[in-house]
Amino acid sequence: MTEDSPTTEPLDISVPPGAEGERVDRLLANTLPDRSRSFLKRLIEDGCLNAAGESGATIIEPSYRVKPGERFLLRIPESVDAVPQGEDIPLNVVFEDDDLIVINKPPGFVVHPAPGNLTGTLVNALIAHCGDSLKGIGGVRRPGIVHRLDKDTSGIMVSAKTGPAHEGLTRQFADHTIERAYAAFVWGMPSPSGGTIEGNIGRSPRNRKKMAVHAEGGKTAVTNYQTEAAYAAGAASLVECRLETGRTHQIRVHMAHIGHSVIGDPVYGGGSTRARMSQLSPEASKMINGLSRQALHARLLGFEHPISGEFQQFEAALPDDLAALEQILRKSGSLTHR
């Protein structure tokens, strides 16, 4: 069995005598010597490990210490083609030079291949657009990619075209020196109108496909927000979110955590309800019900060019669907906070 081969049934793994107190990722590595520890660690962080028995709790921390008699079920998902192929997919290029490319990603565009989306991704488009220059940069599955946006989040992204550019951009993301601002249409009106949300983010123990704020564990996550406009007596708001960290679904999780879910978010409670809709005009209600994604847009990205050292900043206006949403919401009455 290799790391790229899936299992049809979860593997049943028991804690052997003498292994009590061991990290669960080490236990798995010792039990499955044909799988690397880093690979198994990724599976745990992706929510593929559950406690056997009635609780079925998802284990999301590789450092979890196992107990005597415990059993675990490990699911190894279907593998992805290790070498994505180039596809002639149009890109909205904002800026490009020999070292990097900046694009305005439309909603519905997946960044890199994964089960369920093996083709038609940004990676496939970049391979075709950039040619052989991407080979070997950042790994064969995600060549050039230094960050990502959710499938249904639109906006500015940067990708590296050379090894040195990839290293430089990756370092800036790791050091949290990248400037990132998002426009988020949320339910309600945050109070206070601006502030900082701090809450560690990790996999939800109840649903491995969701992230959640954790009192203990998870990874540090910080979001600064400022309300720019409130609509329909505070029924909805436009909020700018600036990231100090870059965790999976960070804005969506943090805004939901303070009670102001991103409108249209199917995962974190951004759906319409009768109470919410009653405060909006019929036109606004109709538009929100027809919105096919979360109302979140990466509108600004600033960084130091990894080769020239020059600071560069790129912006993208709201795409058509969110621009139309803003216009409709303004008609229902708005209070500007800018």
Torsion sign over Cα 6, 7, 10, 14: negative
Secondary structure element (H or E) that encloses residue 25, with its range: helix 24-31
First-to-last C-alpha distance (Å) of the chain? 58
331 C-beta neighbours (distance < 10 Å), count: 13
Torsion sign over Cα 135, 138, 143, 144: negative
One-letter amino acid at 142 equals R
296 C-beta neighbours (distance < 10 Å), count: 29
β 154-160/11-14 pair status: unpaired
Please provide residue 31's backbone torsions phi and psi, each rounded to the nearest 5 degrees.
-80, -30
19: left (phi over 0), alpha (psi -120 to 50) or beta: alpha
pLDDT tens per residue, range 112-133: 887 667 899 999 999 999 987 7
pLDDT at 1: 33
- Tell me the pLDDT band of 206, cut-offs 50, 70 and 90: confident
pLDDT tens per residue, range 10-50: 899 999 988 899 999 999 988 888 788 888 988 898 888 99
Note if the pTM is more than 0.85: no
pLDDT at 337: 57
248 closest CA partner among 275, 293, 218, 226: 218
Secondary structure element (H or E) that encloses residue 321, with its range: helix 320-331
Domains, in order of start, for the chain: 11-74 (3.10.290.10), 93-173 (3.30.2350.10), 179-314+325-336 (3.30.2350.10)
245 closest CA partner among 196, 282, 279: 196
pLDDT at 207: 77
pLDDT at 46: 82
Whether residue 150 lies in the annotated active site: yes
**Strands of 123-268, DSSP E:** 154-160, 179-187, 194-198, 200-203, 211-214, 222-231, 236-243
pLDDT at 107: 97
106 closest CA partner among 120, 117, 116: 120
pLDDT at 217: 85
pLDDT at 77: 78
**Catalytic position from the list 25, 99, 150, 321:** 150
CA-to-CA distance for 281 and 193, rounded, in angstroms? 23
CA-to-CA distance for 91 and 94, rounded, in angstroms? 9
Q: What is the DSSP-derived secondary structure letter of residue 235?
A: T
**In the predicted model, what is the mean pLDDT of residues 249-256?**
98
Task: Please state the length of the chain.
Answer: 338
CA-to-CA distance for 330 and 243, rounded, in angstroms? 26
Q: What is the DSSP-derived secondary structure letter of residue 96?
A: E
- Tell me the pLDDT band of 227, cut-offs 50, 70 and 90: very high
Torsion sign over Cα 45, 51, 52, 55: negative
pLDDT at position 8 over 60? no
Secondary structure element (H or E) that encloses residue 332, with its range: none
pLDDT tens per residue, range 50-97: 998 777 888 888 999 999 989 999 988 766 556 788 999 999 999 999
- Tell me the pLDDT band of 334, cut-offs 50, 70 and 90: low
CA-to-CA distance for 296 and 262, rounded, in angstroms? 7
Q: What SS3 state is found at 152? A: coil
pLDDT at 4: 44
pLDDT at position 6 over 60? no
pLDDT at position 3 over 70? no
